[in-house]
Structure 1
C-alpha cells in the first residue's frame, strides 16, 4: 500500500468535454473513513522554452477566458490521444510561432494542480530554431500574437502579471538558473 493511499470504490463522471472530464470519486481514506474527491481528468500537455539565435525567448500572447485577459506564455498545447509529447511539442512550436527545430531537448514534467487535476506538462527546450517557410494552420479557435523577449523584458512582464502562468514562470526560472552557470 502506498503511504496515505485513498482507495476509490466508485467513480461518477459528471462531465466529459473536448479537453477535460470531471469525475466525482468516492474514496476510502487511510483511517477507514470515506470522502468524495472532485477530479479533473486531462490528457496532458507540452510546453517549449525556445530561444532565437539572439537568445530571445519566443512567446505568444493569447486571450485566456478563465482569467478574462490576455496572457503572454511560452508555446504550449494539449496532447492528442496517443501522441508522443515530443511530437506534440514540435507541432505546437510550429503552429503557434512559425518556428521549427531539429534539437528539442526534454527537461522535465510537472503536475499543474495535483490537488484536483491530473494534468501533466512535459517541458522541452531548444536554442536552435529556424523560421518555417509557411506556418501550419493552428486550432481554428486560437488567436495568438508572437513575441520575442529578452529575459529582462520577460521578467518585467512577469512583475506586471502579463506573464502569470506556471509553465512560463518555470521557464523564466530555468533561464535565470541557466544564465548563472
Structure 2
C-alpha cells in the first residue's frame, strides 16, 4: 500500500454539528498533483444484533429523515466522547429496546463510507436478553417501534426493502451464515 497516501496540505472545518463535522482538505496526490477532499468526521457508533431466547432478532422501526421513510434496523447509536463501545452497546440496547443482555460479544467493526467519512461501527452480538422494568429513556428526538423477527422474516424484510441499511443487512447475513454453519 505504500505510495498511495495523500498528504494533507490544508484542512478547514466548514461545519460542526451535533453529530458530525465537515472538513474541506487540500491534499497532495501520489503523483504530486493537488486535489480537494470533503471529509465527514464522526465519533463512531455501535450496532447490536440482539437475539431473544427463542432466536428472534430484536429490531427497531425508525423514521430516517435522510431517506424520507421508515426502515427496520438493528439497535444502534453514537458513541459519546471517550465512551467504550461495549458500554455504549449496552446503553443503546436498553434505550431502544428496553432489553438488557447477559452476554455481549464484539463481532466486527467496519467503516460505513470510507470514501468521505471516518465513521466506524462496532457490531456486537447480545444474548441472554431480559426486559428491564425501568429502562433508560430514548433520546428526546428519537421514536421507534420494536419488532422481533425470525431469520426468515428478516430475510423477507430485506427483499421488501423494509430492512435497507448496511449494518442490518450485515446482521441478517451474519445470522444466516451462522445458521448454515451449524446445520
Q: TM-score range by the shorter chain?
A: over 0.9
Q: Distance in 2 between matches of 1:119 and 1:63?
A: 21
Q: Is the 8 A contact 2:41 2:118 kept in 1?
A: yes
C-alpha distance after superposition, 1:131-153 (max 9, x if no partner): 11112111000000100000111
- Alignment of 1:110 with 2:91, yes or no, is no
Paired residues in the alignment total 181
The answer for the alignment partner of 1:24 in structure 2 is: 24
1:127, CA displacement in angstroms?
2.2
Q: Distance in 2 between matches of 1:2 and 1:20?
A: 30
The answer for the alignment partner of 1:90 in structure 2 is: 90
TM-score, normalised to structure 1, is 0.98
Q: 1:173 aligns to what SS in structure 2?
A: helix
Q: Distance in 2 between matches of 1:72 and 1:34?
A: 42
Q: Is the 8 A contact 2:48 2:89 kept in 1?
A: yes
Q: Distance in 2 between matches of 1:3 and 1:58?
A: 45
Q: 1:148 aligns to what SS in structure 2?
A: strand
The answer for the alignment partner of 1:80 in structure 2 is: 80
1:102, CA displacement in angstroms?
2.4
RMSD: 0.9
Q: 1:156 aligns to what SS in structure 2?
A: helix
Q: Distance in 1 between matches of 2:3 and 2:108?
A: 24
The answer for the alignment partner of 2:132 in structure 1 is: 132
Q: Distance in 1 between matches of 2:166 and 2:87?
A: 22
Unaligned stretches of 5+ in structure 2? none
The answer for the alignment partner of 1:38 in structure 2 is: 38
1:126, CA displacement in angstroms?
1.8
- Alignment of 1:174 with 2:178, yes or no, is no
Q: Is the 8 A contact 1:89 1:124 kept in 2?
A: yes
Q: Distance in 2 between matches of 1:119 and 1:3?
A: 24
C-alpha distance after superposition, 1:105-145 (max 9, x if no partner): 00000000000000000000022111111121110000001
Runs of 4+ in 1 over 3 A off after TM superposition: none
C-alpha distance after superposition, 1:75-111 (max 9, x if no partner): 0000000000000000000000000012100000000
